[in-house]
Chain A
């Protein structure tokens, strides 16, 4: 029997799943949600004018497409960079691991590790090539001379650069190491603001060499795991400082899961953070509300994943009761799928829809049918949307 991808005329893929973590090319897709897409793009364009970098939160229920949204925005920033962005977007996708006692220091370290020593060291070297006096240029990036000293060390090689990097990531150094670096204390010893200062200095450094540092932080509902009061407070301070208008060099796009806004982590919703980020920069990614939205989503998905020429030939050759755009669904099966999807609004989510399409296609392939019919949709809907 013909292989599954050929059976359904799939273009360079094994099934109907979109997953930018598996296929980076899938980041370009954002199906059936033109209104959200244009709202997101508008917010990004505005953000590069003021505050200078995007500070955006996307939230929604499980399977609503938050991760896809973050990857799509990354793709958009890189391939269709808004003219308001003065520099090349340097995006870092990171999933932050959070324990019950995680503090701002842990968060900072993960951000820095995701950014990477090589990247920051490369920026320092590029700055060195641009300016006549590196010391002066680094001091202009930050008010803290310790940070400037540590950054300068990254230009070199050997053990001291690693020590400097460990200092920048917020790890506690031994007294001898602190002395060797000529810094006066460990980073973060005087609070979360200290850590943010280092990050902002790196953002300023990126600016100087023509790049815009933007973190994409997924699954930050994990912050709810922080149970220790002091730990939660330090993370809150860290995020508040990053959200502050004074930070115009480190952007962040954050995704967190929440069925309703109040289910999200408190540190991301608190008034002082929300006030700084701005209510319009909290974007919810809701389920697809109406049958027409679901149809648009499925049509766009099928049109993009299926080779339309091959599909047209298949339809003609076997006189199939379908049309390009909804192939491999029979017309009535396509309608039925859209109906099932919207029966429970909470399940009208991209993840469930894509899962249903895959399951329908697999069953159709099992039965050696070129098209998914109503019987198959009825069977699959029993467990996918149950």
Chain B
């Protein structure tokens, strides 16, 4: 792997110059482009596909501002104007249009002279593969093969999912959950409106399953639960929720009681490790609400009901919950729930851990 897969924080302009001096050719882990991507939609698409292709292969570096000789060997630096703006726009596009987001993706401008420079993109090897580009109503999967990228076939996508241990585990859980949950959701068509779903079996687990498997990229997640466990040993560990929140840069608002039991302390300890989590205590809280608010509002959903975010609440107790989706009247219910959990309840509860600065 080029640069031994180092972070851009540990790479200098001299390292880039060394690549040119040694005429290190393009390959599976390295690509050069003479100019930055253009501003048109198809250019943005191209840029996203290039990055996703690296992520879906083994990761690597893409350097904008290096001219190559036509055989993939670098000749010289070709700095361009306003590299900071270019890097920032690319970051925004990646955040908005790549799913799942590539954890650890770095895009950085290296300045060479006044407002001139190059941009380097570091795509780490990702355990969230396959990633996809979703833009302008189209979704596609690309992977890098040697020095080029190609659209992935259905077979390749399937294989990548099956060979990814994380996805394999989740897929198995999905199958198990489907088998175990027959009859768990209301089937009374015409009585239960489509924006609401009564769930009679493992409602909290269904919520977590939807969050972890559903591909939603949340802007905010609200957890209101009097008791919270770390859920270690269950299919949906709290740590997995935290990892996804970090990867998606999701703010996590948690309102619970002050923990007295060991399992509750363990749950809060896991949450405390998440810089994006805000934790509040409220001794009177009895409500249970789980809400995912996505930038794409159509993907948002919420569950309220009786189940705590504990192993018993997930797996053993008889619980009842109602899942709300942003369709029709469900949208205003979701707004109401978000107003309550995301703002009102927070201002009735004591903050014991704020969201830390994000860099």
Asked whether B234 is an interface residue with its Cβ less than 8 Å from the other chain, the reply is: no
User: Does chain B have a CB within 8 A of A230?
Assistant: no
Q: Does B81 contact A (CB under 8 A)?
A: no
Q: For B92, give its contact among A219, A224, A346, A366 (CB under 8 Å).
A: A346
**Shortest Cβ distance from B41 into chain A, in angstroms?**
7
Which B-chain residue is minimally distant from A227 (CB atoms)? B137
Q: Tell me if B358 counts as interface (CB < 8 A to partner A).
A: yes
Tell me if B295 counts as interface (CB < 8 A to partner A): yes
The reply to whether B136 and A4 contact each other, CB–CB distance below 8 Å, is no
Indicate with 1 or 0, residue by residue over A1-30, a CB within 8 angstroms of chain B CB atoms: 001100000000011010101100000000
CB nearest neighbor in B for A262:
B41
**Segment at the interface with B among A51-59, A84-92, A207-215, A357-365:** A357-365
Say yes or no: is A386 at the interface (Cβ < 8 Å to chain B).
yes
A22 lies within 8 A of B347 (CB): no
Contact of A14 among B41, B339, B354 (CB under 8 A): B339
Residues of chain A contacted by B136 (CB below 8 angstroms): 262-263
Residues of A within 8 A of B163 (CB): none
The CA-CA distance from A260 to B42 in the complex, in Å, is 13
How many interface contacts (CB-CB < 8 Å) are there between A and B? 67
B244 at the interface (CB under 8 A from A): no
B335→A14 contact, CB < 8 A = no
Q: Quick one: which of B137, B194, B331, B357 has the most chain A CB within 10 A?
A: B137
Q: Which of A265, A365, A386 contacts B347 (CB 8 A)?
A: A365
> Within 8 Å of chain A (Cβ to Cβ): is B103?
no
Cα separation A95 to B92 with both chains bound (whole Å): 29
Question: CA A379 – CA B276 in complex, angstroms?
Answer: 12
B327 at the interface (CB under 8 A from A): yes
Asked if B343 contacts A14 (CB within 8 A), the reply is yes
B258 at the interface (CB under 8 A from A): no
Interface centre among B41, B88, B347, B355 (most CB of A within 10 A): B347
**Which of A14, A17, A219, A224 touches B137 (beta carbons < 8 Å)?**
A224
Chain B interface bracket (under 10, 10 to 19, 20 to 34, 35 or more): 20 to 34
Interface residues on A, range: 20 to 34
A79 beta carbon closer than 8 Å to chain B? no
Query: A62 in the interface, Cβ–Cβ < 8 Å?
Result: yes
Shortest C-beta distance, B111 to chain A (Å), equals: 19
Is A222 on the interface with B (CB-CB < 8 A)?
A: yes
Assess whether B251 is interfacial by the CB under 8 Å rule.
yes
B194 proximity list for chain A (CB < 8 A): 97
Cβ-defined contact, A366 with B298, below 8 A: no
CB-based contact B358/A386 at 8 Å: yes
Smallest CB separation, A22 vs chain B (Å): 5
**Across the interface, do B358 and A21 meet the contact criterion of CB distance under 8 Å?**
no
**Structural contact, B357 and A19, CB atoms closer than 8 A:** no
A62 to B347, CA, bound (A): 26
**Given A15-B339, A365-B347, A21–B331 Cβ distance below 8 Å?**
yes
- Kindly identify which residue among A62, A224, A365, A386 contacts B249, using a CB–CB cutoff of 8 Å: A386
CB <8 Å contact, B344 and A15: yes
Q: B132-156, CB under 8 A of A: which get 1 and which 0?
A: 0000110000000000000000000
Mark each residue of chain A from 361 to 380: 1 if its CB lies under 8 Å from any CB of chain B, else 0.
01101100000000000010
Q: Is A219 a contact of B297 with CB atoms below 8 Å?
A: yes
Q: Are B88's CB and A97's CB within 8 A? A: no
Name which residue of chain A comes closest to B97, CB basis.
A259
Nearest-CB distance from B5 to chain A (Å)?
A: 25
Complex interface: chain A residues within 8 A of B332 (CB): 21-22
Residue-wise interface mask of A (257-287) relative to B, using a CB-CB cutoff of 8 A (1 in contact, 0 not): 0001011010000000000000000000000
Q: Is A382 an interface position by the 8 A CB rule?
A: yes
4 additional contacts (CB under 8 A) given A21-B331, A62-B296, A219-B298: A21-B335, A95-B327, A97-B327, A379-B357
Q: What are 5 A-to-B residue pairs whose CB atoms are below 8 Å?
A: A3-B348, A22-B335, A263-B136, A344-B88, A346-B92
Binding site for B on A (CB under 8 A): 3-4, 14-15, 17, 19, 21-22, 62, 95, 97, 219, 222, 224, 260, 262-263, 265, 344, 346, 358, 362-363, 365-366, 379, 382-383, 386
